Amino acid sequence: MDGKKIKNIALDGLLRNNPTFRLVLGTCPTLALTTAAMNGIGMGLAVTFILICSNVIISMLRKVIPSAVRIPAFVLIIATFVTMVRMLLDKFVPSLYESMGVYLPLIVVNCIILGRAESFASKNPVGYSALDGLFTGLGFTFALTFMGIFREVLGSGSLFGAHLWDFKIEFFTSSAGAFFVYGVFIAAFNGIYTKIDSKIRALHYDKMMALTGEEL
Amino acid sequence: MQKIIVSDTPHVRSKLTTKRIMLDVIIAIVPALVAGIVFFGGRAAFNVAIAVVSCCLTEWIWLLIKKVPVKDIFKKFDFTSIVTGLLLALSLPPLDYKYFYIPLLSGIFAVGVVKMLFGGTGKNVVNPAVTGRVFAFISFLGAMTSGWIQPAFGSISGEVVTGATVLTDMLAGVRPTLSNLDLFLGTGVTGCIGETSKVAILIGYIYLVVRRVIKWQWPVIVVGVTGLVGVLLNGCDFTLFLPYILSGGLIYGAVFMATDYVTSPANNLARYIYYVLMGVIIALLRKGTGIETVSFAILLMNLIVPLLSLHVRPRPFGSVPFGVLVKEKFAKLGKKGGKAE
């Protein structure tokens, strides 16, 4: 496996193509489930697990699945893993299962998983696909957890279920607050990202200038 | 040789600036403010002070962060934040001193999020004061609905409001115990700081109309339509018409918040459609929820304004009105029919 490609996959999943903040995919669970940090982590990890498994299977079968029926085939594979995760959660973490409600089966039609299957797993070998699933899923988890922490601290005065103080601004746990927080987070993430990106670009430009000794 | 100076339009400037209009609005609010402070005492004054200070500070701090020179900030300050703060505080209940954070946070939300994030004065999509109130209402429901206190003057008819407010009683199906005169003067009426005394609001309304800041029809349409639809929804009992429009924040919202220039359509027809729809929505929501819904209705209608402005266009100068066009068409059809026979 090529180290540079792995680094690219990791950076893509976590930052450059962060599914929540850069691609704005999977917004439904993002808005509905980030009322508490624990829900965010639970949802993120469930999606990560399903993403890795489905990416691996789809990547294995990428030469077998005819391209005309690839979407139903992908959905079938994803649905298999979603059902497994649902059963496991229902058995071992019933409280999380309750709080995720309808959004757990809805992972089947989550754009992130379908998107990665379509744009990455169906074109790349198994190893890379598994890594891509891992890092995209972690990017999603980290986004959901941060939003969850922000909304839980301000909206319910607690953190990961532990009570902090009595002061609550219930706006942040309402759905209007979800859209507001999401917008603010996208703006902040992209603002910071663009700043760092342009700095790195400038740095590379200077290096190239020093190497070649001429203006690009 | 005489020099000729060539300059761009406008050649004639009037003295009507944003600052001037906002000053007029502030003067129009003063009676309601005074009435609120007389009725509810220190609590009202405290709330208003906090809201105004937080609104103005939010704007200044935002501009400082945006690295606008301090000299410019004060030169270009156009009083809109003061108006927002006043309107916001007057639409809150006379909250206890321990809830100082409610006007504070709503002020920050109203100016910081609703106005400055969208680019400052004149660029906000929804009315900052209304949104600030809705923010407070959603966020601190308990404090916002239990903060009612009896005003300094008891009612002339000697009755007392039994429930939380007159309006919640009435929407629950209880006939209001207070007389219409009490509701009009605000004596014995529990409610938000600014909405209690209708007399004070009407003085402000007359001032705004005389100064030509608003047209007299605008609030009248909202209040009238709300009253009519409300009466129809509540079993066609026309004795309820006056209590229905005099209770709650309807007149206050119609005079000060629904007439906001920035968030209402610019052309006349669209504006009248806007006010009629607003009245209908207020009455429907009041019926549906059993609480005061003026702020929510105004917020909803503010969001529809771009659609109204897009689809209800004024007739370009010199074009044939639609009615005339239809008439001509029919006249032609008639002639053709006549010839064929």
In chain A, at which residue ranges do the beta strands (DSSP E only) sit?
158-159, 162-163
CA distance B104 to B299: 21
**What CA–CA distance (Å, rounded) separates A148 from A159?**
9
User: What domains can be seen in chain B, in order of their start residue?
Assistant: 18-311 (1.10.3430)
Q: Confidence band (pLDDT; 50, 70, 90) for B43?
A: confident
How many C-alpha atoms does A28 have within 13 Å on its Cβ side? 13
pLDDT for B225 beyond 50: yes
Residue in B closest to A172 by C-alpha: B139
Interface test with B, best of A151, A156, A171, A181 (most B CBs within 10 A): A171
Which residues of chain A have a CB within 8 Å of the CB of B135? 171
Taking the CA of residue B140 and the nearest CA in chain A, the distance in Å comes to 7
Nearest one of B157, B223, B145 to B187, comparing CA atoms? B157
CA distance A51 to A108: 10
Given a cut of 50, whether residue A196 has pLDDT beyond it is yes
Name all contacts of B312-319 with Cβ < 8 Å and 24+ positions apart: B312/B265, B312/B267, B312/B269, B312/B270, B312/B273, B313/B267, B314/B267, B314/B268, B314/B269
Task: Please report where in the chains the tokens 């207070």 appear, as a residue.
Answer: B178
Residue burial B65-78, b: 16+ Cβ < 10 Å; e: rest: eeeeeeeebeeebb
What's the pLDDT score for residue B203?
92
Helix B18-40 with B80-90: angle, nearest 10 deg: 30
What are the chain B neighbours of A170 within 8 Å (beta carbons)? 138-141
| Average pLDDT value for chain B | 84
Would you state the pLDDT for residue B312?
A: 82
Q: Please name the amino acid found at residue A203.
A: L
For residue A105, whether the previous peptide bond is cis, meaning omega lies within 30 degrees of 0, is no
Query: What type of residue is B8?
Result: D
A167 in reach of chain B (CB within 8 A): yes
To probe the interface with B, which of A167, A168, A169, A179 has the most B CB atoms within 10 Å?
A169
Is the predicted pLDDT of residue B206 greater than 90, yes or no? yes
User: Does B79 contact chain A (CB < 8 Å)?
Assistant: no
| Three-state DSSP state, B2 | coil
What residue ranges in A136-182 does DSSP mark as E strands?
A: 158-159, 162-163
Average pLDDT for residues B133-145, to the nearest whole number? 86
Cβ within 8 Å, pair A169-B140: yes
> In Å, how far is B167's CA from the nearest CA of chain A?
25
Task: Select from A199, A114, A142, A161 the least CA-distant residue to A13.
Answer: A142
Nearest CA in chain B to A181: B113
CB contact under 8 A, B138 and A170: yes
DSSP one-letter string for B125-154: SS-HHHHHHHHHHHHTHHHHHH-----SS-
End-to-end Cα spacing for chain B: 77
Q: Is A163 helix (H, G, I), strand (E, B) or coil?
A: strand
> What pLDDT is attached to residue B337?
56
**Best B125, B139, B140 residue to mutate vs chain A (most A CBs within 10 Å):** B139
Q: Do B138 and A167 touch (CB under 8 A)?
A: no
Average pLDDT over residues A4-11: 82
Q: Is B290 helix (H, G, I), strand (E, B) or coil?
A: coil
**What is the tens place of the pLDDT at every residue in A15-56?**
888 888 888 888 888 888 888 888 889 889 999 999 999 999
DSSP structural state of residue A162: E
A79: Cα within 13 Å, side-chain hemisphere: 7
Q: Which structural domain range is residue A87 located in?
A: 3-212
A39 contacts: CB under 8 Å, gap ≥ 6: A33, A96, A99, A100, A148
Kindly report the pTM of this predicted structure.
Answer: 0.82
The pLDDT-based confidence of B161 (bands split at 50, 70, 90) is: low
- B135: contact with A, CB 8 A cutoff: yes
Report the 10 Å Cβ neighbour count for A78: 24
Tell me the helices (H) and strands (E) count for chain B, helix number first: 16, 0
Of A170, A172, A180, the CB nearest to B141: A170
* Subunit contact B135:A171, Cβ cutoff 8 A: yes
Q: What is the mean pLDDT of residues A157-169?
A: 82
Q: Which ipTM did the prediction report?
A: 0.76
- The 10s digit of each residue's pLDDT in B272-315 is 999 999 999 999 998 888 788 888 999 999 999 988 888 887 77
Number of Cβ within 10 Å of residue B310's Cβ equals: 10
Instruction: Tell me, yes or no, if A154 comes closer than 8 A to chain B by beta carbon.
Output: no
Q: Are strands A162-163 and A158-159 parallel, antiparallel or unpaired?
A: antiparallel
- Calculate what percentage of chain A has a pLDDT beyond 70: 98
> How near does any CA of chain A get to the CA of B136, in Å?
8
Subunit contact B101:A167, Cβ cutoff 8 A: yes
The answer on pLDDT for B243 being more than 60 is yes
The b/e string for B263-302 (b: 16+ C-beta within 10 A; e otherwise) is: bbbeeeebbeebbbbbbbbbbbbbeeeebbbbbbbbbbbb
Domains contained in chain A, number: 1
Q: What is the DSSP letter of B256?
A: I
The pLDDT value recorded for residue B341 is 43
Which residues of B are less than 8 Å from A169 in CB distance?
Answer: 105, 139-140
User: Chain A contact for B138, CB < 8 A?
Assistant: yes
Quick check: A73 pLDDT over 70? yes
Q: Which of residues 101-130 of B touch A (CB under 8 A)?
A: 101, 105, 113
Pairwise CA distance, residues B49 & B27, whole Å:
16
Reply yes or no on whether the pLDDT at B112 is more than 70.
yes
Could you tell me if B292 and B246 are in contact, meaning their C-beta atoms sit under 8 angstroms apart? no
Q: Mention every residue, 6+ apart, whose C-beta is less than 8 A from residue A176.
A: B138
CB pairs under 8 A between A and B: 16
Q: Do B139 and A176 touch (CB under 8 A)?
A: no
- Contact at CB, A171 and B141, closer than 8 angstroms: no
How many angstroms separate the CA of residue A171 from the nearest CA in chain B? 4
pLDDT band at B157 (very low <50, low <70, confident <90, very high): low
Shortest alpha-carbon distance between residue A169 and chain B (Å): 5
CB neighbour burial string for A32-45, b if at least 16 within 10 angstroms, e if fewer: bbbbbbbbbbbbbb
Considering CB atoms only, which of B105, B138, B141 is closest to A176?
B138
Q: What is the pLDDT of residues B51-102, one digit of tens each?
A: 999 999 999 999 898 888 888 888 878 888 899 999 999 998 888 888 888 8
Check CB contact under 8 Å for A170 and B140: yes
Residues on chain A touching B105 (C-beta within 8 angstroms) = 169
pLDDT of residue B340: 47
